[in-house]
Amino acid sequence: MIRVQRKYRLIKAISTKDLEIQVNDLIQKEYKDTEGFLYRSSGRWQCLGGPTFQNEKWIQTMVFIQEEE
């Protein structure tokens, strides 16, 4: 399997509870492509570092890592 970074996202929330809900929703979903003609792949969102507090909002950086066969 080859790991490839596909995209990133900044999650912003007013409270840590809201941030936790949004981050967990992304982490728990797995995206699979088993019908591909050239390769099969699966991907997941992962946290990149820890949450930070800026301008009265909590921010978490997420990165989408995809593994290809």
Q: What pLDDT digit, counting tens, does each position of 8-61 carry?
A: 899 999 999 999 999 999 888 877 776 666 656 788 888 989 999 999 999 999
What is the pTM assigned to this prediction? 0.74
Contacts of 11 (CB under 8 A, 6+ apart): 19, 22, 23, 26, 59, 60, 61, 62
pLDDT at 39: 58
pLDDT at 16: 94
Contacts of 68 (CB under 8 A, 6+ apart): 1, 2, 4, 39, 40, 41
Number of domains in the chain: 1
Phi, psi of 38 (to 5 degrees): -95, -30
Structural domain span for residue 9 = 2-68
Q: What is the DSSP letter of 56?
A: T
